[in-house]
Amino acid sequence: MSLSTKVDEIPLYIKVNVQDNVAIIVNSGGLKKGTLFACGLTLKDFVPQGHKVALVDLEENQEIIRYGEVIGYAISPIKKGSWIKETLVRMPTPPKMDELPLASHSSEELTPLKGYTFEGYRNANGTAGIKNILGITTSVQCVTGVLDYSVKRIKEEILPKYPNVHDVVALNHTYGCGVAINAPEAKIPIRTIQNIATHPNFGGEAMVVGLGCEKLSPAQLGVQKDTVSLQDQAGFMPMVKIIMEMAEERLEKLNQRQRVTCPVADLVIGLQCGGSDAFSGVTANPAIGYAADLLVRAGATVMFSEVTEVRDGVHLLTPRAANEEVGRAIIQEMKWYDDYLEKGEVDRSANTTPGNKKGGLANIVEKSLGSIVKSGSTKITGVVGPGEKANEKGLLFAATPASDFVCGTLQLAAGMHLQVFATGRGTPYALAAAPVIKVSSRTALLEQWSDLIDVNAGTIATGEATIEDVGWELFHFIIDVASGRKQTWTEKWGICNDLSLFNPAPVT
C-alpha cells in the first residue's frame, strides 16, 4: 500500500490561514456526510476533494475567508460542516484599477534572519553566481546550427580539460531577424537577450555568436568585442574553429574560479508554478511562500511572476506594495497585459474554467489567491518589467506570462540564480542556466516521479508536516543547491528546455 493510499483513510482538511472560516477536503474521492474529524467537526454534506467546508456557522452575507482574504459572501446561511458550493458564494466586487488601495498594509517589520550563507562564485561586478557556466549568446537564430555543432564538440573535446566549469550553454532563441525590430514592444525581447548574456551564473565571460546582417546587432547587446560574426568567416569549418577557440579562452578563465562563502542576501530566487492541481494552492505554494519569507528576511531577492495567474487578485497585491510607486507599477503591468490579450481577441485567461470549478475553486479571486500565496507575506519592494534586470532586494513582482518557459526565460533575464517550481500534475521542465527545484503538491506525484521531484509538499495535506516544516526544508535545499552540495533531478539528468523569448511585437 502506497503512502498516499494509507493517509487517504484518515479524514483530513486543510485550513491555510488562522483567520480562515473555511477549509479544503484533502481525501481523494471526497468525504461523505457524517464524517467526523479529529477536531470534532462533522460533515453535514458529502464534500468532494479540494472543495470547501464551513468551519463555523456562516450568516447570510457573511464574509467567506480563505488564505486570510475575503473570497466572497454567503448567499444564504451556511451551517458549520456544510459543503460550500460555488452557487452559495457571491463574488466580491473587484475594485476598479484606478481605485486600488496602494501600500495600505501596515505590515509589521519581519525579524531579519541572520547568519545564513551559501558557497557561490563571486563576480567582478559584485554579484554572485551559483553555477560556473560558459553562456554563449546568439544575436539571431541563423547561427543555431553552427553553434549547436560547435558546442557539442566543445563539450566533448574541450570542456573535460576544465573540470571547474559546469557546462557550456548555447543561448539559442528565435529572435534577431525577421522581426519588427522597431516596434514599440521589441524592447522586451531585446533587453531579455541583453540581460541573459550577462547572467550572474556566467561569471562575466560574455561571448556572442552573430551572423552579420541581422537586425539585432551584437553591438545592441553591449558585448561587441566578444562577438564572432559568421559572415566574416571563410566557411563552416573556420566558423567552428573560431567558436571553439573563443570558448576555450573563456573556459580557461572560468576554470580558475572557486566557490567562496556568500550571504544569502546575494541570492536571486524565482518562483513559479505549472501543471497545477487543487492542492498547489494549499500545499506547495504556501510552503514556497514560507520559504520566500525566510529568503526575504535573510536579505535575498525573491521574484514572483505570472501576470495572468495573479491578475484577478491585484487588489490583494497593491496593498502589500512598499510604497505607492510600487503599487502603481504593479497596476501598470497588469493593464499592459490586459491590453495585450485584448489585441489578440482573448478573454481574461485567468477566469476560472469549468475544470477549476469542478476542482473546488469558487471564483477567480480564490484561484488567484492560490497562486499569490507563493509570494509569502512580505511587502512588495519592487516591480520588474518583462526582460528587465532585478536591481532590488526583497520581494519583487516580475511581470511575466504564466507560460513556464517564457516565465523561466524572463526570470533568467532578471538575474535569477535558481527557480522554485510548484507542480501538481508534474512537468520535467528545466532551464540550462539555472537549477529548477520541483516542489510537488501531492505525495502521490513524488511516489510516481521519484526521479524528478526534489521536495514534496504533499505531506502538508496529510498533516505529516506543517507549512513551516516544508518551508524550512525548501529554504535549506535552496542553499544546498546554490552551494553545489546538492543537485536537482533535472541537473542530474542534464535535461532542459530552450529559451522562450516573450515577443509581443510582430514577426515580418
Q: Extract the C-alpha cell encoding 65.
A: 475567508
Binding of residue 404 to Ca ion (CB under 5 A): yes
Print the binding letters for residues 262-301 with Ca ion: x by CB under 5 A, - otherwise.
----------xxx-x-------------------------
Among 24, 136, 196, 402, binds Ca ion (CB under 5 A): 402
> Residue 293 gets which letter from DSSP?
H
For the CB of residue 200, give the shortest distance to a copy of itself in the complex, in Å: 23
Rounded CA-CA distance 235/232 in Å is: 9
* 25-54: contacts with a copy of itself (CB under 8 A): none
Give me the least distance between CB of 145 and a copy of itself, in Å please: 3
Cβ contact 376:312 at 8 Å: no
* C-alpha torsion angle, residues 90, 93, 94, 96 (rounded to 10): 170
User: Is residue 208 a contact point for a copy of itself (CB under 8 A)?
Assistant: no
Least separation in angstroms between residue 371's CB and Ca ion is: 6
18 touching a copy of itself, by CB under 8 A = no
What span, in angstroms and rounded, lies between the C-alpha atoms of 462 and 223? 52
Q: For residues 79-97, b (16+ Cβ closer than 10 Å) or e, as one string?
A: eebbbbbbebbbebeeeee
Quick check: 136 binds Ca ion (CB under 5 A)? Answer: no
Q: Which of 92, 178, 299, 319 binds a copy of itself (CB under 8 A)?
A: 178
Map residues 285-324 to x or -, x wherever contact with a copy of itself holds by CB under 8 A: -----------------------x----------------
Q: Considering CB distances under 5 to 8 angstroms, the limit depending on partner class, which of a copy of itself, Ca ion, none binds residue 180? A: a copy of itself
CA distances (Å), 407 to each of 270, 418, 472, in order? 9, 13, 25
Note whether 219 binds a copy of itself by CB under 8 A: no
Binding mask 406-425 for a copy of itself (x = CB under 8 A): xx-----------------x
Identity of the residue, 273 or 479, whose beta carbon is nearer to Ca ion in the bound complex? 273
- Provide the 10 A C-beta neighbour count for residue 264: 23
Of 189, 200, 218, 275, the residue at the interface with a copy of itself (CB under 8 A) is 275
CA distances from 154 to 130, 147, 159, 247, 497 (A): 22, 10, 6, 8, 20
Single out the residue of 142, 193, 302, 437 in contact with a copy of itself (rule: CB under 8 A). 142
Cβ closest to a copy of itself, residue 322 vs residue 431 = 431
Give which of Ca ion, a copy of itself, none residue 401 binds (C-beta under 5 to 8 Å, depending on kind): a copy of itself
What is the number of other CB atoms lying within 10 angstroms of the CB of residue 203? Answer: 23
Element (H, E) at 290: helix 284-297
Q: How far apart are CA 275 and CA 429, in angstroms?
A: 10
Query: Pick from 46, 73, 336, 405: which binds a copy of itself (CB under 8 A)?
Result: 405
By the 8 A CB rule, do 110 and 378 touch?
yes
Name the site residues for Ca ion (rule: CB under 5 A): 272-274, 276, 402, 404, 498
